[in-house]
Structure 1
Amino acid sequence: MAATLVCDSFVFDPRPDYQFRLAIKRYRDLNNNHTDDDALTLVFAHCVGGHKEQWEPTLEHLYDFVSREPNLKIREAWCIDAPDHGDSSIFNDHLLTSALDWRPESSLGWEDYARSIHAFLSGLGSGIDVDFRSRKLVAVGHSLGAVAFVLSTPYLPKVKFLSMILIEPMIIRKPKPGEFKMEYSEIIAKRRDIWPSREEAMRFFTSEKQWQGWDPRSFQIYADHGLRDLPTETYPNLTQGVTLKCTKRQEAALYRDRLCSLRAFQYLHVLCQRIPVHLIHGEHADFIPRYFQEDILKVATRGHQATSSKVPGGGHMVVHTHPEETDKRARL
């Protein structure tokens, strides 16, 4: 029977042990609602500047495939906004803005996403009455989200993942002299981030090179979930128009945090000894140079439980541009 997806929204609150609340969505197929012990529970983490809803096109393809495969059982899929992204950023707006005002060069780091994921899956908070310790967990992370999953694994109590799928992971060794450096913060800081309407914002995005090739569903999802109405803590005096949920100040600060990418690289071989890991890259190395990707694959696959694949025609933003092909590679 064809898939019929339903979505439930939650707010996970780990306070007082951790200060940032999280916006989370659960996706289920009403026609194939498996609750068996061997059914998989999928957990998704997004890229820098993204949000939990970006996974919806990929989930549509995945659940449609699963509906025709009786031996593949998915219990549910959980998608998590980082503390400074998506709807989480609205809950945490005052804390995030205050931190940037106090220390503009750095606010939340990539590890804050990892800590948030760990708290959520460990049940270290309120708002979601699910014991994930009894679930067969599969982690699926894109870019920042991939790094967050890797960094979440050493925390205690341990979260037991069955496997991980890391899509275009921003896992980078220490650059050698003259090699690539993540110098994106200044570009992002100068980027336009206010528009009179969502329609005007989307016209702007479609004219920008970085947005070319996005799946139409991804564009619509960004219009619906990547923007928020003014005023905000960042722009308290503007009463009309829209801006980004993940502010450009916060996104720029994230790209200044280079240590977490290196730490994930250093830990990757340990992770791949413990659980199966599948790495997915786009065919085109348009964001992370190919030599960094090759070094990641060498570390991950050398005598370990790691596999890899490429999305034909894709680049770093494969989740947005090629959701169906991304789903196919994730199922390998």
Structure 2
Amino acid sequence: MICDSFVFDPRPDYQFRLAVKRYRHRVCHNTDDDALTLIFAHCVGGHKEQWELTLDYLFDAASRHPSFKIREAWSIDAPEHGDSAILNDHLLTSAMDWRPESSWCWENSARCTHMFLSGLGHGVDVDFRTRRLVVVGHSLGGITSVLSTVYYPRVDFAAMLLIEPMIIRKPKPGESNLEFSESIAKRKDVWDSPEAAFRYFSSSLQWKSWDPRALKIYAEHALRTLPTETYPDRNTGVTLKCPRRLEAALYRERLCSLRAFEYLQVLCQRIPVHIILGEHADFIPRSFLQDIPTLGTRGHHASLRFVPGAGHLLVQTHPEATAEAIAAALEHDGARSNVAEKGKLAKL
């Protein structure tokens, strides 16, 4: 793949800058009008590079399946993640210093994604309004994807793929309250060196199931050198680009998750929405996940797929199978588009 890096700056209309990357295949770069421009949104604690393995497989699948064409793919670091977190360090730290135990609104990511795709800023000289867009959101990225469609000017997506989305209803009495922030807030987040951090990741149960290549990419792009705004007095070592207290604050946010859940049935009436889940409900209880496709059915969601052997972090543990599920959804829409086009020609 060919990769180019950009910084999208929406100021003075919005305060957060975005670090983004564009990926194109060296051989299969397709500029046809119906070729897809894919937009990728990552999970909490992740970063834009976490999609690279899946993208590699996906570009390969596109070269073998004429039913869908990929022009290019864009992957976005949410405002408080990856390289975006470095760009926004002072703003993020100031906000958390003011209310350190508060939640952090996921809508910031949705708003920034909308501004990026609407051209409401500078730094990326691409008019996405002329492209055939498909957005792919994992976990938090699923909420980002759904809520990015509620702003104006409206972004017209050809389809949306939600991978293990954190789009959940309000818990019923006796159900899990899905509380993860306390453990995140206490997690180790400073190491003497990148090598020490990688050894820690490799030995931790949290990362044991990851594809080794995905873990290597994570370690390479998740860390930054000290000092930082969070740790101004530490002059050596590395820490996470997304500060642990901010990651914990993201897990305290529930309103955006509920808003996305309620809005999904409306969105499904407007565009094809494909849902991809891991076979094992190891993070979000199955009772919550079951309500996502049920809700989509009321709005005619396009498809539901399960990745065998995978759980919530299927992008990190099963990148090839995730790419196959994405390709199947894109083929589904491509076949449907071809049928519709033939119908129009027949009428002519």
Report if TM-score (shorter chain) is over 0.5: yes
Alpha carbons of structure 1 residues 276 and 142: separation in structure 2 relative to 1, 3 Å: same
Which of 43, 56, 59 matches 1:60? Answer: 56
Task: Give the match for residue 146 of structure 2.
Answer: 150
Which of 307, 312, 318 matches 2:314? Answer: 318
- Displacement of 1:189: 0.7
Task: Give the match for residue 136 of structure 2.
Answer: 140
Structure 2: how far apart are the matches of 1:60 and 1:308?
23
Find out whether 1:260 has 2:256 as its counterpart: yes
Letter in 2 for 1:145: G
- Displacement of 1:193: 0.3
- Displacement of 1:105: 2.4
Letter in 2 for 1:235: Y
Structure 2: how far apart are the matches of 1:105 and 1:200?
29
Give the unaligned 5+ runs of structure 1.
Answer: none
Letter in 2 for 1:97: T
Q: In the alignment, is the contact (CA less than 8 A) between 2:266 and 2:299 conserved in 1?
A: no
Task: Give the match for residue 25 of structure 1.
Answer: 21
Q: In the alignment, is the contact (CA less than 8 A) between 1:105 and 1:256 conserved in 2?
A: no
Letter in 2 for 1:217: R
Q: What CA deviation, in whole Å up to 9, does each residue of 1:211-245 have, x standing for no partner?
A: 12101111111111011111100001111111001
Q: In the alignment, is the contact (CA less than 8 A) between 2:62 and 2:327 conserved in 1?
A: no
Q: Secondary structure at the match of 1:320?
A: helix
Alpha carbons of structure 1 residues 107 and 288: separation in structure 2 relative to 1, 3 Å: closer
Which of 186, 210, 217 matches 2:213? Answer: 217
Structure 1: how far apart are the matches of 2:243 and 2:117?
26
Structure 2: how far apart are the matches of 1:255 and 1:43?
23
Task: Give the match for residue 183 of structure 1.
Answer: 179
Structure 1: how far apart are the matches of 2:180 and 2:18?
26
Find out whether 1:273 has 2:269 as its counterpart: yes
Structure 1: how far apart are the matches of 2:170 and 2:50?
30
Q: In the alignment, is the contact (CA less than 8 A) between 1:21 and 1:83 conserved in 2?
A: yes
My pick for the range that moved more, 68-77 or 11-20, is 68-77
Give the unaligned 5+ runs of structure 2.
Answer: 329-348
Letter in 2 for 1:240: T
- Displacement of 1:267: 0.4
- Displacement of 1:71: 4.5
Find out whether 1:207 has 2:167 as its counterpart: no
Please give the TM-score of this superposition, normalised by the length of structure 1.
Answer: 0.97
Structure 2: how far apart are the matches of 1:253 and 1:69?
42
Task: Give the match for residue 280 of structure 2.
Answer: 284
Alpha carbons of structure 1 residues 307 and 69: separation in structure 2 relative to 1, 3 Å: closer
- Displacement of 1:67: 2.0
Structure 2: how far apart are the matches of 1:237 and 1:147?
36
Q: In the alignment, is the contact (CA less than 8 A) between 2:104 and 2:252 conserved in 1?
A: no
**1:41-52 to 2 correspondences below 5 Å:** 41-52=37-48
Please give the TM-score of this superposition, normalised by the length of structure 2.
Answer: 0.92
Task: Give the match for residue 159 of structure 1.
Answer: 155
Task: Give the match for residue 343 of structure 2.
Answer: none
Q: Secondary structure at the match of 2:24?
A: strand
Letter in 2 for 1:273: Q
- Displacement of 1:302: 2.9
Letter in 2 for 1:316: H
Structure 1: how far apart are the matches of 2:145 and 2:102?
21
Q: In the alignment, is the contact (CA less than 8 A) between 2:143 and 2:256 conserved in 1?
A: yes
What is the aligned-residue identity percentage?
68
Structure 2: how far apart are the matches of 1:68 and 1:295?
34
Letter in 1 for 2:59: Y
Q: Secondary structure at the match of 1:77?
A: strand
Q: In the alignment, is the contact (CA less than 8 A) between 1:273 and 1:304 conserved in 2?
A: yes
- Displacement of 1:178: 1.3
Q: In the alignment, is the contact (CA less than 8 A) between 1:172 and 1:261 conserved in 2?
A: yes
My pick for the range that moved more, 244-253 or 207-216, is 207-216
Alpha carbons of structure 1 residues 231 and 303: separation in structure 2 relative to 1, 3 Å: closer
Q: Secondary structure at the match of 1:288?
A: coil
Q: What CA deviation, in whole Å up to 9, does each residue of 1:244-268 have, x standing for no partner?
A: 0111010011111111111110001
Count of equivalent residues: 328
Aligned CA RMSD, in angstroms, stands at 1.0
My pick for the range that moved more, 111-120 or 178-187, is 178-187
Q: Secondary structure at the match of 2:305?
A: strand
Task: Give the match for residue 330 of structure 1.
Answer: 326
- Displacement of 1:303: 5.2
Q: What CA deviation, in whole Å up to 9, does each residue of 1:115-162 have, x standing for no partner?
A: 010000000000001111110000000000001110111100000000
Q: Secondary structure at the match of 1:30?
A: coil
Find out whether 1:111 has 2:107 as its counterpart: yes
Q: Secondary structure at the match of 2:64?
A: coil
Q: Secondary structure at the match of 1:273?
A: coil
